[in-house]
Structure formats: structure tokens, C-alpha cells
Amino acid sequence: MDNYPDTAAAPLPETDLTEAEVAPQLLPLAELHLHIEGTLQPELIFELAERNGLALPYSGLEELRALYEFSDLQSFLNLYYANMAVLQTEQDFADMTRAYLARAAAAGVRHAEIMMDPQAHISRGVSLETCVNGVASALATSVEDFGISTLLIAAFLRDLSEESALEVLDGLLAMKAPIAAIGLDSAEVGNPPAKFERLFAKAREAGLRLTAHAGEEGPPSYIIEALDVLGVERIDHGIRCMEDPDLVERLVDERIPLTVCPLSNVRLRTVDTLADHPLPAMLAAGLNVSVNSDDPAYFGGYVDDNFAQLQAVFELSDFDRSRLAANSIHSSFASEERKAELLDELNGG
Ligand code: ES4
Ligand code: ZN
């Protein structure tokens, strides 16, 4: 019944609320699925190209931005790897990392587990030391500078050989790189987890935590393989688990974290629209899901934007939003002490 016929045309009521009170509340959370190279904003790409005396194949920001239209994971990866050409010096890697941390702090991120792709830099002639030390130098002061605790994850490109990955892992261990974990990313289909069994065994022996992308474009069997053959503790994406009810039951029983990236899935056409995203069904199934930004410079938003768009489409309850934030903290590789601190903060402590 139309009891309030004038509502749509009525001016907004005057309020005494401050902007912070009107804006959706930012929950303190952990970002667990973030590729630092995917935070390279178009403006910074041009700035770094100029600083390093490199000519870009685009006339300007508009021409570059017009390329951010993807048909699948590979179409994105092509641009993602091409744009890395501007990352040449430790300073470049540090500047990119600081820009992410500043933006993440504004999004409510209080702990970030940051992936980087060393092989994508080594193959361009940038040394392991340059890329790792550049990112790590910004992470070393992230608590003082941005109020964000951080740790570094070395991700390996699954479309390259396991020998290449083993060589890079050896290099990271030899230089005592400050990495807490390894991950597995890049082109999924045709590169199943089992290809990297020795790599993950070696990383586990070295005391590293383990995560892998699985079930983004690849089938549910890749998720099972990542758990059973690689022994990962966490699955990045994992949304295709929803096609296998037995797998869902196992993931629920074992509380396996799934680091879901809704805007990424829309932009890479893994789902048709955000309204078709399985996140609400995943929450309803009792899966341990968190919301993450993946490659925010490419996919239309940071973690706060992911939450805002989910909120707009699904009207998540306060309970759901708190659960997503709590899941992110519980699922992190942070110390028990740091997790307790963040959970206190989330619970208004
Ligand atoms: C990635 Cl969205 C996604 N999937 C797989 N590998 C990646 N590397 C950077 N972003
Ligand atoms: Zn990813």
C-alpha cells in the first residue's frame, strides 16, 4: 500500500550526524588475499614509468584504463604482468606497497597478508633481492606508519615449472627473506595443485605456512588436491566448492578458510553479476569465508568497496558483516596474541 506517497520526492531530513556516523561502519579486519602487484594504480604506473625513463605502450591514463575490461583470468593476467615493467628499483616496490597500506588503513584493514610474485620480476631481470627487500622495507614499519600488522607471502606462478619455483624458494630461504608463507597463483586451469607437491613439502619443512589459489576458474577437484596433496591450510577463492556438496561438508567440518574476492570474480567473469555471487550461500552453508580485494587496482575496489557493493546487493546483516570480519581474523597467520587483540577490537573492546 502506498501510505507515504511523497517519500520519493521529499528532501532528505537535516541531521546532526557527522560524516563518520552516516558512513557505513568500518569493521576492523584482516585482508588475507591481496596481490601487491595488483595494487599498482594507473597513476602510479605512469609515475614510475617516468621516474625510470620507460616508454609505456599507452598514450595516457584514459587509454590504459580502457584496457581494464576482462573476459577471464588470463585476459587480466596479460595486463597485470605487462604493467609490472615499471617496477624496477627497491624504491618502486616500497612506494607501491606504502600506497596500498595507506588505502587499506582507510578501508579498516588492521592486519594484511600480502602476496607477491617474485618469478614475475626475476623473469624481467629484476633481482629477488630488489623485489623482496623493496616490499619488505615498507612492511617492516607498517604498524608504526599505518596501524596495520603485516606478513609477506611468496606466491609461485603455477603456469611455470616446479623446477623454477623450487629454485626461487631456495633463493628466498638462502637470503633469509622475511616470508611467513607461500602461495600458488596465476593461470589455474591445466595447472593443478599436484604439479607443486615437492615445492609445498619443502616450504612446510622450512616452517612456512601454506595457501593456494584453487576453485577460482578450476574445478572443485583442484581444491581437494590443494588440501590433500599440498597440505594447504587455506584456499584462496574456492568459490567453485559450491558445485560439490561433499566438499562443502568437509570444508565446513574442517573450518578451512576460503579467502573470497567478490569484485574480482565479477570482473574476471567467474560470476555474471555480483547478485549471482555465491557468498551468501557460502555463509549460509557455514563455510569459513572472508572478503578480500585480490587485485584492487584492477577489479574496481579495495576491501571496503567489496563490502559496500555486497551490502548494496545482498543487504548483509550486521551479524554477517561481523562474522566475515571475525573469520578473516581467525583465518590469518598472525600470532594468537595479535588475533586476540583484533578480535577484542572487533567486539568493541
Ligand atoms: C590473480 Cl585473481 C588471480 N588469480 C590467480 N592469480 C592471480 N595473480 C594475481 N591475481
Ligand atoms: Zn588472487
The best mutation among 32, 34, 73 to test binding of ligand 1, ranked by most ligand atoms within 8 Å of the C-beta, falls on 73
Does the C-beta of 83 come closer than 6 Å to ligand 1? no
What whole-number distance in Å separates Cα of residue 178 and Cα of residue 158?
Answer: 22
List the domain boundaries for the chain.
27-346
Dihedral sign of CA atoms 163, 165, 167, 169 in order: negative
Q: So what's the architecture of 27-346 in CATH?
A: Alpha-Beta Barrel (3.20)
Give me the tens of pLDDT residue by residue for the chain, a chain 349 residues long.
333 333 334 444 455 555 444 456 789 999 999 999 999 999 999 999 999 999 999 999 999 999 999 999 999 999 999 999 999 999 999 999 999 999 999 999 999 999 999 999 999 999 999 999 999 999 999 999 999 999 999 999 999 999 999 999 999 999 999 999 999 999 999 999 999 999 999 999 999 999 999 999 999 999 999 999 999 999 999 999 999 999 999 999 999 999 999 999 999 999 999 999 999 999 999 999 999 999 999 999 999 999 999 999 998 999 999 999 999 999 999 999 999 999 999 999 7
Whether 216 is catalytic: yes
Does the C-beta of 264 come closer than 6 Å to ligand 1? yes
Contact by Cβ (8 Å): 60, 141: no
Does the C-beta of 216 come closer than 6 Å to ligand 1? yes
> Does pTM surpass 0.85?
yes
Q: Which residues contact 200 (CB under 8 A, 6 or more apart)?
A: 182, 210, 212, 229, 230, 231, 232
User: Which residue is closest in CA terms to ligand 1's atom 6?
Assistant: 186
Given 31, 90, 216, 341, the catalytic residue: 216
